[in-house]
């Protein structure tokens, strides 16, 4: 099974971290956001993934020289100009011939962190095919739907409409588009991939009119890791038991002085924590150096922190 993974965004909300490193290649525990996504795709039966690339494709090419990740074969589709979501899907899918196949394929947004079982979404789509489904989307519940665009569905899962940032009392739905889909190859007929096109604003509403869009709502762990607070939380949730997945808090190659304090934090490969340093509720990136007596709290430090420097609620990019 193929997947199209959308990784061509600019990552503006996570600057300066994304000035040099694309968002999907940022650390998540001891891997990267993209690597964890590939782990979940592989568990769901995906064998091949085409990365829809635009902004800064070179780091992706360099990160996977053997063109594999978590056992998934990688393919690269590099846009000449931004194509938005549906445009990118159409372009990437055609680059590997998905428009000529008959089996469905998965689409995933590259900054989503979730415990969704991909196989469950694929199975739901296969059930809905007999009712004319061209696409099945994953939905997740939110506490305050007025901050999102919610999705309204019938009891059988058929999507009936979208309500953008609904006022209280205007909809009973508390479910939003969670950024993972299963699409029929024939859905590419309305995603030519030769111009910018939004799947959320254009393609999905079109499929609703055709009564061909279905949904699967789950309460699996889900997080949009594209904001500083949520990116930090996504890392810490991997070590604090809030996920089905779990990762090591401190990489085996990291060097921690015996007089430092590291608590509720992720420390990457080759990082060094100096004498008397305190690291609390933070992410220390691979090869980052935290100097003697430095304090890092509630922060992401992918670059060095000088001796005795105090860093709180900050993002520090590599030099």
Q: Are residues 132 and 200 in the same domain?
A: yes
Q: Are residues 170 and 284 in the same domain?
A: no
- Report pTM: 0.91
Q: Are residues 177 and 255 in the same domain?
A: no
By the 8 A CB rule, do 273 and 262 touch? yes
By the 8 A CB rule, do 206 and 278 touch? no
Q: Are residues 177 and 119 in the same domain?
A: yes
The pLDDT of residue 98 is 95
Residue 108 lies in a domain: yes
Q: Are residues 189 and 274 in the same domain?
A: no
Structural domain of 284: 248-316
Helix (H) or strand (E) holding 138: strand 135-141
Distance between CA atoms of 19 and 302, rounded to whole angstroms?
Answer: 12
Q: Are residues 218 and 256 in the same domain?
A: no
Residue 239 lies in a domain: no
What is the phi/psi pair of residue 149, to 5°?
-100, 115
Residue 235 lies in a domain: no
Residue 242 lies in a domain: no
The pLDDT of residue 56 is 75
Q: Are residues 177 and 60 in the same domain?
A: yes
Residue-level pLDDT, tens digit, the chain, 319 residues? 999 999 977 777 888 998 888 899 999 999 999 999 999 999 999 999 999 998 778 899 999 999 999 999 999 999 989 999 999 999 999 999 999 899 999 999 988 999 999 999 999 999 999 999 999 999 999 888 777 778 999 999 999 998 877 777 677 788 999 999 999 999 999 999 999 999 999 999 999 999 999 999 999 999 988 889 999 999 999 999 888 889 999 999 999 999 999 999 999 999 999 999 999 999 999 999 999 999 999 999 999 999 999 999 999 998 8
Residue with tokens 């060095």: 304
Q: Are residues 147 and 264 in the same domain?
A: no
Residue 229 lies in a domain: no
Q: What is the CATH number of the domain that holds 132?
A: 3.90.550.10
255-256 and 175-183 as β-strands: parallel, antiparallel, unpaired?
A: unpaired
By the 8 A CB rule, do 9 and 25 touch? no
The pLDDT of residue 9 is 76
Q: Are residues 254 and 215 in the same domain?
A: no
The pLDDT of residue 25 is 94
The pLDDT of residue 216 is 97
Q: Are residues 218 and 268 in the same domain?
A: no
Q: Are residues 120 and 266 in the same domain?
A: no
Residue 234 lies in a domain: no
The pLDDT of residue 155 is 92
In 3D space, the residue among 6, 27, 8, 31 whose CA is nearest the CA of residue 232 turns out to be: 27
The pLDDT of residue 267 is 98
Q: Are residues 219 and 253 in the same domain?
A: no
Residue 29 lies in a domain: yes
Distance between CA atoms of 260 and 293, rounded to whole angstroms?
Answer: 8
Q: How many domains does the chain have?
A: 2
By the 8 A CB rule, do 178 and 116 touch? yes
Residue 298 lies in a domain: yes
């Amino acid at each position: 099974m193929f997947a199209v993974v959308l990784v061509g965004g600019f990552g503006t909300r996570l600057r300066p971290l994304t000035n040099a490193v694309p968002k999907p290649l940022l650390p998540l525990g001891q891997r990267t956001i993209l690597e964890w996504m590939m782990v979940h795709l592989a568990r769901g039966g995906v064998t091949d993934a085409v990365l829809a690339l635009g902004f800064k494709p070179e780091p992706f090419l360099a990160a996977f020289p053997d063109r594999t990740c978590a056992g998934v074969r990688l393919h690269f589709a590099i846009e000449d100009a931004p194509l938005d979501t549906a445009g990118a899907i159409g372009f990437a899918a055609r680059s590997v011939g998905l428009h000529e196949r008959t089996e469905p394929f998965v689409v995933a947004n590259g900054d989503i962190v979730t415990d969704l079982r991909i196989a469950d979404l694929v199975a739901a789509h296969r059930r809905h095919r007999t009712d004319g489904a061209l696409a099945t989307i994953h939905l997740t519940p939110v506490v305050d739907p007025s901050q999102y665009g919610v999705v309204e569905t019938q009891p059988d899962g058929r999507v009936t409409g979208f309500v953008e940032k609904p006022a209280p009392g205007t909809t009973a739905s508390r479910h939003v588009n969670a950024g993972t889909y299963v699409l029929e190859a024939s859905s590419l007929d309305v995603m030519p991939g030769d111009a910018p096109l939004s799947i959320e604003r254009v393609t999905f509403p079109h499929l609703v009119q055709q009564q061909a869009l279905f949904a699967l709502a789950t309460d699996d762990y889900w997080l949009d890791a594209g904001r500083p607070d949520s990116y930090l939380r996504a890392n810490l949730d991997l070590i604090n038991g809030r996920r089905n997945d779990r990762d090591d808090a401190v990489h085996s190659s990291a060097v921690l002085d015996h007089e430092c304090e590291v608590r509720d934090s992720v420390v990457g490969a080759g990082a060094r924590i100096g004498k008397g340093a305190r690291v609390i509720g933070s992410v220390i990136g691979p090869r980052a150096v935290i100097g003697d007596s430095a304090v890092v709290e509630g922060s992401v430090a992918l670059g060095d922190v000088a001796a005795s420097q105090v860093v709180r609620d900050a993002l520090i990019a590599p030099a």
